[in-house]
Protein backbone atom coordinates (compact mmCIF):
# COMPACT_ATOMS: atom_id res chain seq x y z
CA UNK A 1 0.00 0.00 0.00
CA UNK A 2 1.40 3.37 -0.99
CA UNK A 3 1.27 6.31 1.42
CA UNK A 4 -1.22 7.95 -0.94
CA UNK A 5 -3.50 4.90 -0.83
CA UNK A 6 -3.11 4.74 2.95
CA UNK A 7 -4.18 8.37 3.24
CA UNK A 8 -7.26 7.77 1.07
CA UNK A 9 -8.23 4.79 3.24
CA UNK A 10 -7.57 6.73 6.45
CA UNK A 11 -9.64 9.66 5.24
CA UNK A 12 -12.61 7.38 4.52
CA UNK A 13 -12.39 5.97 8.04
CA UNK A 14 -12.02 9.39 9.63
CA UNK A 15 -15.12 10.65 7.85
CA UNK A 16 -17.32 7.92 9.33
CA UNK A 17 -17.70 9.83 12.62
CA UNK A 18 -16.34 13.00 14.24
CA UNK A 19 -14.74 11.05 17.10
CA UNK A 20 -12.57 7.93 17.09
CA UNK A 21 -12.69 6.29 20.55
CA UNK A 22 -9.20 5.69 21.91
CA UNK A 23 -9.56 2.56 24.02
CA UNK A 24 -7.35 1.11 26.74
CA UNK A 25 -8.98 -2.21 27.64
CA UNK A 26 -7.60 -4.54 30.31
CA UNK A 27 -10.05 -7.43 29.94
CA UNK A 28 -10.96 -9.00 26.60
CA UNK A 29 -14.32 -9.99 28.08
CA UNK A 30 -15.29 -6.32 27.84
CA UNK A 31 -14.26 -6.00 24.20
CA UNK A 32 -17.37 -7.09 22.29
CA UNK A 33 -19.98 -5.39 24.50
CA UNK A 34 -17.91 -2.19 24.53
CA UNK A 35 -17.59 -2.23 20.75
CA UNK A 36 -21.32 -2.86 20.33
CA UNK A 37 -22.13 0.03 22.69
CA UNK A 38 -19.90 2.47 20.80
CA UNK A 39 -21.12 1.36 17.37
CA UNK A 40 -24.74 1.62 18.55
CA UNK A 41 -24.03 5.20 19.65
CA UNK A 42 -22.70 6.11 16.21
CA UNK A 43 -18.93 5.67 16.62
CA UNK A 44 -17.96 2.75 14.37
CA UNK A 45 -14.19 3.37 14.13
CA UNK A 46 -12.45 1.99 17.21
CA UNK A 47 -8.77 2.42 18.13
CA UNK A 48 -7.52 -0.19 20.60
CA UNK A 49 -4.21 0.94 22.05
CA UNK A 50 -1.51 -1.69 22.47
CA UNK A 51 -0.94 -0.64 26.07
CA UNK A 52 -2.31 -3.68 27.88
CA UNK A 53 -1.50 -7.42 27.72
CA UNK A 54 -5.07 -8.02 26.55
CA UNK A 55 -4.97 -5.55 23.64
CA UNK A 56 -4.51 -8.06 20.81
CA UNK A 57 -7.29 -10.27 22.18
CA UNK A 58 -9.46 -7.17 22.46
CA UNK A 59 -8.84 -6.42 18.78
CA UNK A 60 -9.76 -10.00 17.87
CA UNK A 61 -13.04 -9.76 19.77
CA UNK A 62 -13.95 -6.31 18.46
CA UNK A 63 -13.21 -7.41 14.90
CA UNK A 64 -16.23 -9.71 15.12
CA UNK A 65 -18.67 -6.91 16.00
CA UNK A 66 -20.94 -6.00 13.10
CA UNK A 67 -20.71 -2.41 11.95
CA UNK A 68 -17.39 -1.73 13.67
CA UNK A 69 -13.96 -1.04 12.19
CA UNK A 70 -11.24 -1.84 14.69
CA UNK A 71 -7.67 -0.63 14.52
CA UNK A 72 -4.53 -0.77 16.62
CA UNK A 73 -3.06 2.26 18.33
CA UNK A 74 0.35 2.81 19.91
CA UNK A 75 2.16 1.05 17.07
CA UNK A 76 5.85 1.41 17.89
CA UNK A 77 7.64 -1.37 16.02
CA UNK A 78 7.24 -3.52 12.89
CA UNK A 79 6.45 -6.41 15.26
CA UNK A 80 3.52 -4.41 16.60
CA UNK A 81 2.27 -3.93 13.05
CA UNK A 82 2.44 -7.67 12.27
CA UNK A 83 0.72 -8.60 15.53
CA UNK A 84 -2.03 -6.03 14.96
CA UNK A 85 -2.71 -7.25 11.41
CA UNK A 86 -2.73 -10.88 12.56
CA UNK A 87 -5.27 -9.93 15.26
CA UNK A 88 -7.60 -8.40 12.68
CA UNK A 89 -6.79 -4.67 12.84
CA UNK A 90 -8.02 -2.77 9.78
CA UNK A 91 -5.97 0.37 10.41
CA UNK A 92 -3.10 1.54 12.59
CA UNK A 93 -2.25 4.62 14.63
CA UNK A 94 1.19 5.62 15.88
CA UNK A 95 2.16 8.34 18.40
CA UNK A 96 4.98 9.43 16.09
CA UNK A 97 6.43 8.27 12.80
CA UNK A 98 9.64 6.44 11.92
CA UNK A 99 10.76 5.03 8.58
CA UNK A 100 10.50 1.49 9.99
CA UNK A 101 6.91 1.94 11.15
CA UNK A 102 5.84 3.63 7.92
CA UNK A 103 7.50 0.94 5.79
CA UNK A 104 6.05 -1.88 7.90
CA UNK A 105 2.50 -0.54 7.51
CA UNK A 106 2.97 0.05 3.79
CA UNK A 107 4.26 -3.49 3.29
CA UNK A 108 1.39 -4.93 5.37
CA UNK A 109 -1.26 -2.91 3.47
CA UNK A 110 -2.33 -1.39 6.79
CA UNK A 111 -3.69 2.18 6.53
CA UNK A 112 -1.83 4.29 9.08
CA UNK A 113 -2.55 7.52 10.92
CA UNK A 114 1.05 8.54 11.63
CA UNK A 115 1.65 10.83 14.56
CA UNK A 116 3.08 14.31 14.21
CA UNK A 117 3.69 17.13 16.67
CA UNK A 118 5.44 19.83 14.63
CA UNK A 119 5.30 21.52 11.26
CA UNK A 120 8.58 19.83 10.26
CA UNK A 121 7.18 16.39 11.07
CA UNK A 122 3.99 17.15 9.17
CA UNK A 123 6.04 18.29 6.18
CA UNK A 124 8.20 15.15 6.27
CA UNK A 125 5.10 12.92 6.27
CA UNK A 126 3.52 14.99 3.51
CA UNK A 127 6.71 14.64 1.46
CA UNK A 128 6.36 10.87 1.78
CA UNK A 129 2.72 11.02 0.69
CA UNK A 130 0.74 11.07 3.94
CA UNK A 131 -1.96 13.72 3.76
CA UNK A 132 -3.94 12.47 6.78
CA UNK A 133 -2.04 12.58 10.05
CA UNK A 134 -2.55 12.34 13.81
CA UNK A 135 -1.68 15.48 15.81
CA UNK A 136 -0.40 14.23 19.17
CA UNK A 137 -0.41 15.12 22.00
CA UNK A 138 -2.86 17.78 20.90
CA UNK A 139 -3.48 19.79 24.05
CA UNK A 140 0.13 19.60 25.26
CA UNK A 141 1.25 20.88 21.85
CA UNK A 142 -0.82 24.04 22.05
CA UNK A 143 -4.31 22.78 21.30
CA UNK A 144 -6.59 23.99 18.55
CA UNK A 145 -4.76 27.32 18.23
CA UNK A 146 -1.48 25.57 17.44
CA UNK A 147 -3.10 23.21 14.97
CA UNK A 148 -4.77 26.11 13.20
CA UNK A 149 -1.42 27.87 12.93
CA UNK A 150 0.33 24.75 11.59
CA UNK A 151 -2.45 24.22 9.09
CA UNK A 152 -2.23 27.67 7.56
CA UNK A 153 0.99 27.01 5.58
CA UNK A 154 0.31 23.27 5.15
CA UNK A 155 -3.31 23.14 3.93
CA UNK A 156 -2.75 19.84 2.12
CA UNK A 157 -2.78 17.91 5.42
CA UNK A 158 -5.86 16.88 7.40
CA UNK A 159 -5.37 16.01 11.06
CA UNK A 160 -6.92 13.81 13.72
CA UNK A 161 -5.94 15.56 16.97
CA UNK A 162 -5.62 13.21 19.93
CA UNK A 163 -4.41 13.68 23.48
CA UNK A 164 -6.35 15.82 25.91
CA UNK A 165 -9.36 16.11 23.61
CA UNK A 166 -12.66 16.03 25.50
CA UNK A 167 -16.30 16.88 25.03
CA UNK A 168 -15.43 20.34 26.36
CA UNK A 169 -12.89 21.24 23.67
CA UNK A 170 -13.73 18.88 20.80
CA UNK A 171 -15.77 21.57 19.05
CA UNK A 172 -12.71 23.86 18.99
CA UNK A 173 -10.80 21.24 17.00
CA UNK A 174 -13.66 20.06 14.80
CA UNK A 175 -14.32 23.65 13.76
CA UNK A 176 -10.92 23.87 12.06
CA UNK A 177 -10.77 23.37 8.30
CA UNK A 178 -7.73 21.09 8.62
CA UNK A 179 -9.31 18.73 11.19
CA UNK A 180 -11.10 15.68 9.83
CA UNK A 181 -11.98 14.07 13.18
CA UNK A 182 -10.66 13.76 16.74
CA UNK A 183 -9.48 10.89 18.89
CA UNK A 184 -10.77 10.72 22.45
CA UNK A 185 -11.03 8.37 25.40
CA UNK A 186 -13.85 10.09 27.28
CA UNK A 187 -16.53 8.09 25.46
CA UNK A 188 -15.45 4.90 27.26
CA UNK A 189 -14.56 5.80 30.87
CA UNK A 190 -12.82 3.01 32.74
CA UNK A 191 -15.33 3.00 35.59
CA UNK A 192 -18.26 2.60 33.19
CA UNK A 193 -16.45 -0.21 31.35
CA UNK A 194 -15.72 -2.05 34.60
CA UNK A 195 -19.34 -1.59 35.70
CA UNK A 196 -20.64 -2.87 32.38
CA UNK A 197 -22.62 0.32 31.87
CA UNK A 198 -23.01 -0.20 28.14
CA UNK A 199 -26.12 1.98 27.90
CA UNK A 200 -24.22 4.84 29.49
CA UNK A 201 -21.36 4.41 27.05
CA UNK A 202 -23.81 4.34 24.14
CA UNK A 203 -25.21 7.65 25.38
CA UNK A 204 -21.73 9.19 25.53
CA UNK A 205 -21.00 7.89 22.04
CA UNK A 206 -24.24 9.34 20.67
CA UNK A 207 -23.38 12.74 22.16
CA UNK A 208 -19.94 12.62 20.55
CA UNK A 209 -21.30 11.37 17.23
CA UNK A 210 -23.59 14.41 17.06
CA UNK A 211 -20.70 16.89 17.23
CA UNK A 212 -20.60 19.15 14.15
CA UNK A 213 -17.60 19.28 11.83
CA UNK A 214 -16.39 22.10 9.61
> Is pLDDT of 164 > 90?
yes
> Is pLDDT of 107 > 90?
yes
Q: Choose the catalytic residue: 11, 47, 139, 190.
A: 47
pLDDT at 214: 81
- Which residue range is the domain that position 38 belongs to? 3-209
Q: Is 61 a catalytic residue?
A: no
Residue 56 lies in a domain: yes
Residue 145 lies in a domain: yes
- The tens digit of pLDDT for each residue in 49-64 reads 999 999 999 999 999 9
Q: Is 168 a catalytic residue?
A: no
Q: CB neighbours (10 Å) of residue 31?
A: 26
pLDDT at 148: 96
183-203 mean pLDDT = 97
203-212 mean pLDDT = 98
The mean pLDDT value of the chain amounts to 97
pLDDT at 124: 97
Taking the C-alpha atoms of residue 35 and residue 41, their distance in angstroms, rounded to an integer, is: 10
pLDDT at 46: 98
Residue 214 lies in a domain: no
156-181 mean pLDDT = 97
- The tens digit of pLDDT for each residue in 139-152 reads 999 999 999 999 99
Q: Choose the catalytic residue: 4, 107, 134, 207.
A: 134
Extract long-range pairs of 9-12: CB within 8 Å, 24+ residues apart: 9/91, 9/111, 10/91, 10/111, 10/112, 10/113, 10/132, 11/131, 11/132, 11/158, 11/180
How many domains does the chain contain in total? 1
Residue 20 lies in a domain: yes
> Is pLDDT of 184 > 90?
yes
5-13 mean pLDDT = 95
Q: What is the pTM of this model?
A: 0.96
168 burial type by CB count under 10 A (0-12 exposed, 13-18 middle, 19+ buried): exposed
Binned at pLDDT 50, 70 and 90, residue 67 comes out as very high
- Name the percent of the chain lying above pLDDT 90: 99
CATH of the domain at 20: 3.20.20.70
Amino acid sequence: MTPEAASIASEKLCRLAPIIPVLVVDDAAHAAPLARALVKGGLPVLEVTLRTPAALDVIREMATVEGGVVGAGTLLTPADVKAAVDAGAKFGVSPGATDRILSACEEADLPLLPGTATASEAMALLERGYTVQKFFPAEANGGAAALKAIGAPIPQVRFCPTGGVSMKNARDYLGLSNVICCGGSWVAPKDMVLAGDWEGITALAAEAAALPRS
